[in-house]
Structure 1
């Protein structure tokens, strides 16, 4: 697997976890679209996810408000994702 594909897979997995936790009663389609939208933005911001631009491993914390916004409008161009730098047990 290429580094780019690995980053996409890891970001999508991390985002999906938070979307499932915070999405409430969203449908499967809404979950899919919200996850894709947030993961795409995550990869645009952190193309080497799970590392930031300095090479430090990070983990994402996606607030419920971000998930709600993505479920409501997955075509929005910007979501507020929070990352915490430092070593992490979460990829």
Structure 2
């Protein structure tokens, strides 16, 4: 039966997207109200222009990475190790 409502994976995905959007909005607002900003570098490799769009992309991508990598690890572990007996050796 399909699950209705806003629980489980839907909730986590919605919260993830909301937080990434907040990061983008914070970057946009930072570039709007702060003068003389230096260009941000995503992962110290990709340099974005010091514009509103550049800071919005930087903020969203940074939060997506910082939150997404651990979230993917949790998903992987939860799908791989679901039985406590599968971790310990059999006697």
Query: Whose Rg is larger?
Result: 2
Q: Which has the higher contact order (CA 8 A, sep 6+)?
A: 1
Structure that is richer in helix per residue: 2
Structure that is richer in strand per residue: 1
Q: Same fold (TM over 0.5)?
A: no
